[in-house]
């Protein structure tokens, strides 16, 4: 246990140190990269609650990522164009304040997760994978044809949204915001895993009938986990959209779902810091391999394949060995 | 739970009436009726494929019967699911261990205590530091003699220890009755003997419907025995009655002698 | 709207459904027998189309192209099964999803490496081109009729294979109980390779047939793959009959919905808006259908327990 | 130990990126973001090849071109743009194929004082309300080719068109552009699914509609599918379309189904001017294939940049902007000039698909619009 804690500490410190170093060396783009890692890791932390803790193989988490992104895009677009979003029951002109945008992103993606989860969790196994995939695609096609908000073109926001007391246009400050949220989510995720809910959820993944015989509802446990998971991924979506100052249906596509899942698995399913390691390694690979060959995705594919076949437990698993029972 | 009067004219804790369940042409349960009174151990025996598992599943709530009725503590629970029945006080152990293998022994016991406490689950507080739950869990573990193994990973337990943990988890639920599916299976002579002694005491806490292959244990423990063959109960009675029942001898005990 | 137009659209829906069936049959077989979820099934569809286009380009023969598509997809399927998929049977679905997702990346970019980034040419042969007039005066492309016929023949063959032949018995036994077929003395690993290659060949055939009227390009398999998933979820995973019914249902819903929804909306609003909104809704229709089916039957129309 | 290793890895990357930036000492740095992998990669490859043909021919060693693949993902395009601007300090950017990617990248790039020259996408917002002094479009405004098609339909005496496009913004712009010029009736107007590959249902509707012609905008694989199915359906109404579905890269995949179809384009390989003749020959010599429309646009973009660099240094932004506005280069399209919103004012031709030996290609048969400017210029306040 000590080893993994130490490792986790090192990972999070490294994620903090790299942009600070980049700041000193005047390399703003490295800060942007680190911000991307923090945001994608946050999305992965969200998925990991469903996937790692709850054993729910959702191939539709892009839906929540995208809803978070669109929450930001829609609110900010209205604010920037001074077009009221609605005028009843009160006049609301959208917003460019991050805290409000985050709240809307979290609520909207949680609501979507509640509906999608309530339908999908009636099934399990492969059905669940395919149904979450299909719901994701449904939203994807909807977003493409939703011309009011740019359809396939997406929505561009000219200026990054504001955070009280900070200037988010300065890369390192925006990184700080994302990093703080990631730390918050990691903390939350750790507490959740150790809580009564986490214990029951984890048990439901291992042995559903046991959970039922002690008088707990696996369906309810999973639904709550799915909603929490979707909400965190949605928050990450809002940040990702703000990082790019842009949101488009691509955020909803099933490749995005696959990528978020890759972050989690690359790092190690169910490992608290798995998504952080996974996202960091993925972004590094993308930039290193992408520079070497147009066909870099072949190598990414081979690497993933090797990972699944020979290094189960992800990178952390390969480095630290089997997970020890929680104490 | 602590009924002291043991004479039969009281209300049964569990009453199964005319239960039937078919899978296609196969009648897995054929008009089964049985009951369980406070303080008794009622054993259910029968050859492989007699429909014991199907019956257990229907009683615990995992399977809906085609016909018939199940009553728990005087309430009709036929339409209720596993969770609801568990909450009413049905404590079940599994034939094939269904413990959370990644958990420590203590975590498995705490899970049981958590389900039984009836409070809403916390999202933030560390459940393994909850004194009330730990007390229940540790007491159950110590009763089955597993307390010293509390921090071990469940997957690393021996087969016998897993059977003990099964029983311990059921104990944490403080149930009104136990439904035990072959708790002796694979225990070995000394383990069986130990568990037999334990169950003998446990019956006064809550009655036990015991499905068991170990005939020595069954005849030593059971107040009554029901024999299930081809989905139907062919006889119910005391150990002696069953031993001498001609149909049972033919259909069941003869076969059992061969193994 | 004329009756002829409606009938023609029903034929279109049928043809689309038949195509989806060829895709879905392989997916559902592989899942039923091996318990494997294969995201790379769409890649095999693409392999079939590219093989057909390459062979048609070299020889000019459409029949040879179809044979090539079957052979190439089956070979690719068998190769993938032996090298990768085989190691995944005992893994959980998560590993399967990830590994087959990796295979998609490898196949897609590999194909682009070999064939370049531009779409390939594959055309309908002369003897199947042009329309025919059906009873009732419907003019309908001969090639699409041929697809319907080929699809139905292949479907019938598949049912026959599974219901009547030794291999079919082994497949059904494998679906019911994996240990049992080992006990029967069947070489399981050979059977699995065979089933996987069969599924791949069907996908490859679908790719080639469709490639002749659509474009043969990298990534062509992915939209179809997702539709095939919808099909087998609706039909019930593991059931060939379910795949057929699901495929026809999805084919008809998608085609007819795309036509009638915008028209329905024109009754309520102005044409341009109706066309746009109707089209948006039509693109979501099959997913709504799927959700509806699952509400009533969580394991699909013909599925056992999920 | 492991902690150290991972930290070291991260630092290594940070320094690798920084040394990369230091290594670049060329005077003018051009960042090209284009689509080189995934669907639609063919277009990006052509733009890149055309662009590099001109750059290499110029033989200047003070120009460095950094090329990155956006995978047709707006998110990657934005991030690459951030990196090029922030780390690699490019002066000029170009290369984006798709309107949605351009919308995501261009405003941020121009706001950071980088010149952006579009070799392909021309979304209406960037031509009108959101035009920018540092944004130039060297290809066309998105509506242009569609407008020319509408004008051609009038000239050809077509009176009852059936029009269709995918249900996304560029599709809607396309049909709007066509209708802006076209004067006849509409037999039908359909928005298809983006990425749709089977058009049987739409073709049946065309058959039943009583139209006298079909206009469609279905870029990439969608167009190939539509044309093959249309040819096979027995419906033989004349088709008009924009050049995208009939261009060199795609035409071989469509095959004979496209023969005789009229399409609109601002360029063709048979345009008779010296620059074009040389371009077609050089491109074929270097890459072993005929140049496409996209290659010609990439080539023109590079030559425009080179012409401005001949006059002044990019660091003098105002002078460089004036040099670009002058468009003092030999375009393969013949005469080339910019309107007030930095979009081309140019001729748009009508081409017909023909077969030369076993290669399908186009020849110009008419001029659709002369010196045509886009409709959004009045909205642009620069």
Residue B60's SS3 state is: helix
C292 to chain A, any CB pair closer than 8 A? The answer is no
Indicate yes or no: CB of C284 within 8 angstroms of CB of A133: no
Q: What is the mean pLDDT of chain B?
A: 86
The residue-averaged pLDDT of D204-218 equals 92
Highest mean pLDDT among B116-125, C295-304, D332-341: D332-341
**Distances from the Cα of D352 to the Cα of B90, D219, D263, D266, D364, angstroms:** 82, 18, 6, 13, 6
Residue B252 has pLDDT above 70, yes or no: no
A217 to chain B, any CB pair closer than 8 A? The answer is yes
Residue B119 has pLDDT above 80, yes or no: no
Residue B259's pLDDT band, with cuts at 50, 70 and 90, is: very low
Location of structure tokens 């009836």: B118
Indicate yes or no: CB of A319 within 8 angstroms of CB of D2: yes
User: End-to-end distance of chain C based on CA atoms, in angstroms?
Assistant: 42
Contact criterion met (CB below 8 Å) for D122 and D96: no
Q: Please identify among residues 158-197 of chain A the ones whose CB lies closer than 8 Å to any CB of chain D.
A: 158, 171
Q: Please identify among residues 126-165 of chain A the ones whose CB lies closer than 8 Å to any CB of chain C.
A: 126-127, 129-131, 133-135, 137-138, 141-142, 144-147
Contact criterion met (CB below 8 Å) for B174 and B2: no
| pLDDT at residue number C92 | 84
Residue A38 has pLDDT above 90, yes or no: yes
Indicate yes or no: CB of C119 within 8 angstroms of CB of D257: no
Indicate yes or no: CB of A327 within 8 angstroms of CB of B151: yes
Beta-ladder partners of D190: D164
Strands B208-211 and B224-229: unpaired
Q: What is the mean pLDDT of chain D?
A: 88
Cα–Cα distance measured from residue C86 to residue C34, given in angstroms and rounded to the nearest whole number: 9
Q: Å from C107 to nearest chain A CA?
A: 8
Q: Measured between beta carbons, which residues in chain C are less than 8 angstroms from residue A289?
A: none
| pLDDT at residue number C52 | 94
Q: Please identify among residues 242-301 of chain A the ones whose CB lies closer than 8 Å to any CB of chain D.
A: 244-246, 248, 250-251, 277, 280, 284, 287-288, 290, 294-295, 297
Residue D264's SS3 state is: strand
Please report the beta strands in chain B, taking only residues with DSSP state E, as ranges in sequence order: 14-23, 26-36, 41-45, 67-72, 75-76, 90-93, 177-181, 208-211, 224-229, 232-237
Written as six digits, the tokens of A29 are 């783009």
For residues C271 and B92, which has the higher predicted lDDT (pLDDT)? B92
Asked if residue A279 is part of any domain, the answer here is no
- B55 and B167 co-located in one domain: no
Indicate yes or no: CB of D37 within 8 angstroms of CB of C109: yes
Pick from A136-150, C93-107, D14-28, D202-216: least confident:
D14-28
Written as six digits, the tokens of D209 are 């509609």
H or E segment to which residue D220 belongs? none
Nearest to C233 among A59, A127, A145 (CB): A127
Asked if residue B202 is part of any domain, the answer here is yes
User: Residue A89: is the preceding peptide bond cis (ω within 30°)?
Assistant: yes
- B44 and B80 co-located in one domain: yes
Cα–Cα distance measured from residue D282 to residue D274, given in angstroms and rounded to the nearest whole number: 12
Residue D14 has pLDDT above 90, yes or no: no
Residue D180's pLDDT band, with cuts at 50, 70 and 90, is: very high
Nearest to A207 among B99, B112, B125 (CB): B99
Indicate yes or no: CB of C105 within 8 angstroms of CB of A297: yes
Contact criterion met (CB below 8 Å) for B58 and B50: no
Asked if residue A294 is part of any domain, the answer here is no
User: Containing domain of residue B145, as a range?
Assistant: 104-173
Indicate yes or no: CB of B127 within 8 angstroms of CB of A198: yes
Indicate yes or no: CB of C226 within 8 angstroms of CB of A51: no
Structural domain spans, chain D: 144-269+347-379
Contact criterion met (CB below 8 Å) for B182 and B213: yes
A57-75 pLDDT per residue, tens: 999 999 999 999 999 999 9
Nearest to C102 among A126, A134, A304 (CB): A304
Cα–Cα distance measured from residue A135 to residue A114, given in angstroms and rounded to the nearest whole number: 13
Q: Measured between beta carbons, which residues in chain D are less than 8 angstroms from residue C8?
A: 204, 207
Mutation for D interface: A156, A249, A286, A289, most D CBs within 10 A: A156
Instruction: Tell me the three-class secondary structure of chain A, residue by residue.
Output: CHHHHHHHHHHHHHHHHHHHHHHHCCCHHHHHHHHHHHHHHHHHHHHHHHHHHCCCCCCCCHHHHHHHHHHHHHHHHHHHHCCCCECCCCCECCCCEHHHHHHHHHHHHHHHHHHHHHHHCCCCHHHHHHHHHHHHHHHHHHHHHCHHHCHHHCEECCCCCEECCECCCCHHHHHHHHHHHHHHHHHHHHHHHHEHHHHHHHHHHHCHHHHHHCCCCHHHHHHHHHHHHHHHHHHHHHHHHHHHCEECHHHHCHHHHHHHHHHHHHHCCCCCCHHHHHHHHHHHHHHHHHHHCCCHHHHHHHHHHHHHHHCCCHHHHHHHCCCCCCC
| pLDDT at residue number C180 | 64
Q: Measured between beta carbons, which residues in chain A are less than 8 angstroms from residue B98?
A: 207, 209-210
Q: Which of A185, A182, A205, A178 is nearest to A269 (CA)?
A: A205
Rg of chain A, C-alpha, whole Å = 19
Residue of chain C whose alpha carbon sits nearest to that of D45: C117
The residue-averaged pLDDT of B195-219 equals 88
Q: Please identify among residues 256-285 of chain A the ones whose CB lies closer than 8 Å to any CB of chain C.
A: 258, 261-262, 265, 269
Q: ipTM, 2 decimals?
A: 0.77
Length of chain B: 259
- Total domains in the fold of chain A: 1
- Total domains in the fold of chain B: 2
Q: Measured between beta carbons, which residues in chain C are less than 8 angstroms from residue A209?
A: none
A86 to chain C, any CB pair closer than 8 A? The answer is no
| pLDDT at residue number B110 | 94
Cα–Cα distance measured from residue B54 to residue D381, given in angstroms and rounded to the nearest whole number: 79
- B137 and B211 co-located in one domain: no
Asked if residue B133 is part of any domain, the answer here is yes
Cα–Cα distance measured from residue D17 to residue D23, given in angstroms and rounded to the nearest whole number: 10
- Chain centroid to Cα B158, Å, comes to 21
Cα–Cα distance measured from residue D19 to residue A217, given in angstroms and rounded to the nearest whole number: 57
Mutation for C interface: A55, A118, A134, most C CBs within 10 A: A134
- B189 and B152 co-located in one domain: no
Q: Please identify among residues 80-119 of chain A the ones whose CB lies closer than 8 Å to any CB of chain D.
A: none
B235 Rama class: left (phi>0) / alpha (psi -120 to 50) / beta: beta
Residue D354's SS3 state is: strand
Residue C58's SS3 state is: helix
Indicate yes or no: CB of A144 within 8 angstroms of CB of D86: no
Residue D168 has pLDDT above 80, yes or no: no
| pLDDT at residue number C272 | 67
Please report the beta strands in C123-237, taking only residues with DSSP state E, as ranges in sequence order: 131-134, 138-141
| Residue D325, Cβ density class (10 Å: 0-12 exposed, 13-18 middle, ≥19 buried) | middle
CB pairs under 8 A between C and D: 129
Cα–Cα distance measured from residue A233 to residue A227, given in angstroms and rounded to the nearest whole number: 10
Residue of chain C whose alpha carbon sits nearest to that of A304: C102
- B169 and B180 co-located in one domain: no
| pLDDT at residue number D21 | 45
D172 to chain C, any CB pair closer than 8 A? The answer is yes
Residue A152 has pLDDT above 80, yes or no: no
Q: Å from C81 to nearest chain A CA?
A: 13
Indicate yes or no: CB of A262 within 8 angstroms of CB of C98: yes
User: Containing domain of residue A203, as a range?
Assistant: 34-254
Pick from A269-283, A300-314, C98-112: least confident:
A300-314
Cα–Cα distance measured from residue D114 to residue D30, given in angstroms and rounded to the nearest whole number: 10
D90-112 pLDDT per residue, tens: 999 999 998 888 988 998 888 88
Asked if residue A85 is part of any domain, the answer here is yes
Indicate yes or no: CB of A7 within 8 angstroms of CB of D108: no
H or E segment to which residue D128 belongs? none
Contact criterion met (CB below 8 Å) for C60 and C127: no
Cα–Cα distance measured from residue A261 to residue C97, given in angstroms and rounded to the nearest whole number: 10
Cα–Cα distance measured from residue D180 to residue D167, given in angstroms and rounded to the nearest whole number: 19
B96-110 pLDDT per residue, tens: 778 999 999 999 999
Enter the pTM of the model: 0.82
Indicate yes or no: CB of C12 within 8 angstroms of CB of D200: yes
For residues D253 and C246, which has the higher predicted lDDT (pLDDT)? C246
The residue-averaged pLDDT of B187-209 equals 87
Strand arrangement of the beta sheet that strand D92-94 belongs to: D63-69, D28-34, D92-94, D115-118, D135-137
Q: Measured between beta carbons, which residues in chain B are less than 8 angstroms from residue A192?
A: 123-124
Indicate yes or no: CB of A294 within 8 angstroms of CB of D104: no
Indicate yes or no: CB of C93 within 8 angstroms of CB of A129: yes
| pLDDT at residue number B253 | 55
Residues of chain C with pLDDT under 70: 1, 176-184, 271-272, 304-306
Q: Is the dihedral of CA C2, C3, C9, C15 positive or negative?
A: negative
* Domain C3-296, CATH among 1.10.3470, 3.90.1520, 2.170.150, 2.60.120: 1.10.3470
Contact criterion met (CB below 8 Å) for C45 and C23: yes
For residues C174 and D364, which has the higher predicted lDDT (pLDDT)? D364
Q: Which of A108, A109, A12 is nearest to A58 (CA)?
A: A109
Asked if residue A1 is part of any domain, the answer here is no
- B123 and B188 co-located in one domain: no
List subunits contacting chain A, requiring 3 or more Cβ pairs under 8 Å: B, C, D
Do the two chains C and A touch, given a threshold of 8 Å on CB pairs and at least 3 pairs? yes
Nearest to C130 among D195, D224, D232 (CB): D232
HSE at residue D72, side-chain half, CA atoms within 13 A, is 15
Cα–Cα distance measured from residue C33 to residue C168, given in angstroms and rounded to the nearest whole number: 11
Q: Give D331's DSSP letter.
A: B
Q: What is the mean pLDDT of chain A?
A: 88
Asked if residue B27 is part of any domain, the answer here is yes
For residues A116 and A313, which has the higher predicted lDDT (pLDDT)? A116
| pLDDT at residue number D17 | 47
Indicate yes or no: CB of D167 within 8 angstroms of CB of C283: yes
Indicate yes or no: CB of D104 within 8 angstroms of CB of A248: yes
Pick from A210-214, A289-293, D6-10, D155-159: least confident:
D6-10
Beta-ladder partners of A230: none
Residue of chain B whose alpha carbon sits nearest to that of A190: B124
Nearest to A195 among B60, B92, B125 (CB): B125
Residue D6 has pLDDT above 50, yes or no: no
Percentage of residues in chain A having pLDDT higher than 90: 50
Fold for domain D144-269+347-379?
Answer: Rossmann fold (3.40.50)
Structural domain spans, chain C: 3-296
Residue B255 has pLDDT above 60, yes or no: no
Cα–Cα distance measured from residue B213 to residue C164, given in angstroms and rounded to the nearest whole number: 42
- Chain centroid to Cα D14, Å, comes to 35
Q: Measured between beta carbons, which residues in chain C are less than 8 angstroms from residue A312?
A: 95
Residue B236's SS3 state is: strand
Q: Measured between beta carbons, which residues in chain C are less than 8 angstroms from residue A134?
A: 226, 229-230, 233, 287, 290
Mutation for A interface: D108, D125, D165, D190, most A CBs within 10 A: D108
Percentage of residues in chain A having pLDDT higher than 70: 97
Q: Give B153's DSSP letter.
A: B
Q: Å from C171 to nearest chain A CA?
A: 20
Q: Å from C61 to nearest chain D CA?
A: 16
Instruction: Tell me the three-class secondary structure of C227-286, residue by residue.
Output: HHHHHHHHHCCCCHHHHHHHHHHHHHHHHHHHHHHHHHHHCCCCHHHHHHHHHHHHHHHH
């Amino acid at each position: 246990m000590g080893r993994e804690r130490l490792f986790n500490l090192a990972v999070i410190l490294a994620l903090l140190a790299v942009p600070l170093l980049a700041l000193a060396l005047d390399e703003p783009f490295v800060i942007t990269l680190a911000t991307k890692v923090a945001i994608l890791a946050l999305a992965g932390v969200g998925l990991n609650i469903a996937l790692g803790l709850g054993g729910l193989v959702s191939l539709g988490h892009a839906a929540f990522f995208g809803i978070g992104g669109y929450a930001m895009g829609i609110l900010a677009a209205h604010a920037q164009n001074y077009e009221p979003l609605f005028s009843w029951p009160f006049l609301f002109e959208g917003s460019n304040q991050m805290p409000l945008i985050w709240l809307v992103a979290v609520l909207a993606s949680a609501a979507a997760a509640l509906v999608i989860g309530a339908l999908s969790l009636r099934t399990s196994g492969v059905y669940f994978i395919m149904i979450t995939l299909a719901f994701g695609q449904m939203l994807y096609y909807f977003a493409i044809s939703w011309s009011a908000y740019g359809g396939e073109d997406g929505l561009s926001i000219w200026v990054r949204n504001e955070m009280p007391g900070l200037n988010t246009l300065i890369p390192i400050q925006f990184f700080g915001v994302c990093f703080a949220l990631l730390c918050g989510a990691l903390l939350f995720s750790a507490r959740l895993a150790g809580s009564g809910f986490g214990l029951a959820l984890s048990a439901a993944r291992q042995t559903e009938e046991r959970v039922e015989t002690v008088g707990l509802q696996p369906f309810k446990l999973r639904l709550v986990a799915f909603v929490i998971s979707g909400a965190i991924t949605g928050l990450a979506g809002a940040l990702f959209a703000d990082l790019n100052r842009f949101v488009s249906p691509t955020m909803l596509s099933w490749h995005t779902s696959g990528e978020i899942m890759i972050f989690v698995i690359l790092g190690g399913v169910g490992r608290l810091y798995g998504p952080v390691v996974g996202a960091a390694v993925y972004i590094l690979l993308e930039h290193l391999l992408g520079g070497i060959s147009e066909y870099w995705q072949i190598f990414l594919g081979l690497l993933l394949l090797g990972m699944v076949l020979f290094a189960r437990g992800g990178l952390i698993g390969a480095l630290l060995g089997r997970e020890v029972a929680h104490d | 739970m602590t009924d002291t009067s043991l004479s039969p004219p009281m209300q049964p804790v569990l009453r199964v009436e005319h239960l039937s369940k078919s899978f296609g042409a196969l009648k897995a349960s054929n008009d089964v009726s049985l009951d369980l009174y406070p303080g008794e151990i009622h054993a259910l025996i029968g050859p492989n494929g007699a429909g014991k598992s199907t019956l257990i599943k229907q009683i615990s709530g995992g399977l809906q019967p085609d016909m018939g009725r199940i009553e728990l503590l005087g309430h009709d629970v036929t339409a209720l699911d596993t969770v609801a029945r568990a909450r009413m006080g049905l404590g079940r152990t599994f034939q094939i261990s269904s413990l959370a293998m990644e958990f420590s022994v203590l975590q498995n016991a705490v899970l049981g205590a958590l389900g039984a406490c009836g409070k809403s689950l916390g999202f933030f507080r560390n459940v393994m530091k909850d004194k009330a739950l730990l007390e229940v869990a540790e007491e159950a573990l110590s009763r089955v003699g597993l307390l010293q193994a509390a921090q071990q990973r469940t997957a690393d337990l021996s087969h016998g220890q897993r059977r003990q943990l099964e029983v311990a988890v059921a104990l944490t639920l403080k149930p009104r009755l136990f439904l035990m599916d072959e708790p002796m299976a694979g225990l070995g002579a000394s383990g069986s003997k130990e568990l037999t002694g334990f169950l003998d005491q446990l019956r006064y806490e809550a009655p036990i419907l015991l499905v068991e292959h170990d005939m020595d244990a069954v005849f030593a423990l059971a107040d009554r025995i029901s024999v299930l063959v081809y989905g139907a109960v062919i006889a119910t009675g005391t150990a002696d009655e069953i031993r001498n029942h001609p149909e049972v001898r033919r259909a069941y005990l003869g076969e059992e002698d061969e193994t | 709207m004329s009756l002829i137009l409606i009938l023609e659209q029903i034929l279109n829906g049928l043809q689309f459904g038949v195509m989806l069936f060829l895709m879905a049959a392989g997916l559902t077989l592989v899942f039923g027998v091996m318990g494997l979820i294969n995201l790379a099934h769409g890649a095999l569809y693409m392999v079939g189309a590219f093989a057909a286009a390459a062979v048609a380009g070299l020889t000019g023969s459409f029949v040879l192209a179809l044979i090539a598509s079957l052979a190439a997809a089956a070979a690719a399927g068998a190769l993938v099964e032996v090298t990768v998929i085989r190691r995944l049977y005992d893994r959980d679905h998560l590993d399967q999803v990830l590994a087959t997702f990796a295979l998609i990346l490898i196949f897609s970019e590999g194909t682009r490496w070999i064939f370049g980034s531009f779409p390939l040419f594959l055309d309908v042969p002369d003897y199947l081109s042009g329309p025919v007039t059906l009873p009732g005066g419907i003019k309908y492309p001969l090639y699409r009729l041929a697809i319907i016929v080929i699809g139905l023949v292949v479907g019938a063959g598949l049912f026959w294979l599974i219901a009547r032949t030794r291999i079919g018995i082994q497949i059904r036994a494998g679906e019911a109980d994996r240990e049992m077929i080992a006990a029967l003395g069947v070489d399981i690993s050979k059977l699995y390779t065979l089933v996987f290659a069969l599924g791949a060949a069907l996908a490859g055939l679908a790719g080639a047939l469709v490639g002749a009227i659509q474009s043969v390009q990298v990534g062509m398999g992915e939209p179809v793959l997702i539709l095939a998933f919808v099909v087998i979820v609706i039909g019930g995973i593991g059931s060939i009959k379910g795949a057929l019914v699901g495929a026809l249902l999805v084919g008809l819903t998608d085609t007819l919905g795309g036509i009638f929804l915008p028209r329905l909306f024109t009754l309520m609003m102005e044409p341009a808006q109706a066309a746009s909104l109707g089209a948006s809704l039509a693109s979501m229709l099959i997913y709504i259908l799927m959700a509806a089916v699952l509400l009533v039957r969580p394991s699909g129309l013909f599925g056992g327990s999920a | 130990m492991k902690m150290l290793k991972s930290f070291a890895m991260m630092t290594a990357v940070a320094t690798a990126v920084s040394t990369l930036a230091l290594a670049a000492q060329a005077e003018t740095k051009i960042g090209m973001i284009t689509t080189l992998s995934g669907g639609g990669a063919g277009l990006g490859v052509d733009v890149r090849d055309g662009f590099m043909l001109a750059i290499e021919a110029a033989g200047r060693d003070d120009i460095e071109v950094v090329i990155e693949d956006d995978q047709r993902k707006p998110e990657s395009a934005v991030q690459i743009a951030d990196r090029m601007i922030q780390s690699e300090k490019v002066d000029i950017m170009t290369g984006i194929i798709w309107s949605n990617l351009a919308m995501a990248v261009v405003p941020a790039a121009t706001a950071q004082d980088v010149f952006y020259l579009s070799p392909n996408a021309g979304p209406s917002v960037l031509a009108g309300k959101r035009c920018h002094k540092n944004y130039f479009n060297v290809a066309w405004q998105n509506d242009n080719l569609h407008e020319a098609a509408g004008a051609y339909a009038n000239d050809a005496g077509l009176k009852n068109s059936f029009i269709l496009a995918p249900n996304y913004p560029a599709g809607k712009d396309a049909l709007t552009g066509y209708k802006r010029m076209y004067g006849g009736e509409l037999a039908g107007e359909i928005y298809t699914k983006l990425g749709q590959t089977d058009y049987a249902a739409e073709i049946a509707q065309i058959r039943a509609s009583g139209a006298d012609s079909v206009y469609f905008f279905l870029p990439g694989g969608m167009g190939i599918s539509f044309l093959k199915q249309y040819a096979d359906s027995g419906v033989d109404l004349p088709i008009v379309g924009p050049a995208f579905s009939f261009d060199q890269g795609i035409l071989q995949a469509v095959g004979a189904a496209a023969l005789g179809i009229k399409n609109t384009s601002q360029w063709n390989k048979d345009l008779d001017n010296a620059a074009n003749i040389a371009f077609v020959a050089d491109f074929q010599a270097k890459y072993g294939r005929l140049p496409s429309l996209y290659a010609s646009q990439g080539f023109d973009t590079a030559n425009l940049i080179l012409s401005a660099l001949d006059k002044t240094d990019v660091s003098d932004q105002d002078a460089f902007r004036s040099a670009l506005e002058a468009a003092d280069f030999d375009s393969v399209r013949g005469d080339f000039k910019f309107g007030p919103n930095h979009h081309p004012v140019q001729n748009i031709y009508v081409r017909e698909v023909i077969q030369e030996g076993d290669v399908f290609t186009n020849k110009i048969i008419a001029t659709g619009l002369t010196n045509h400017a886009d409709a959004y210029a009045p909205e642009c306040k620069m």
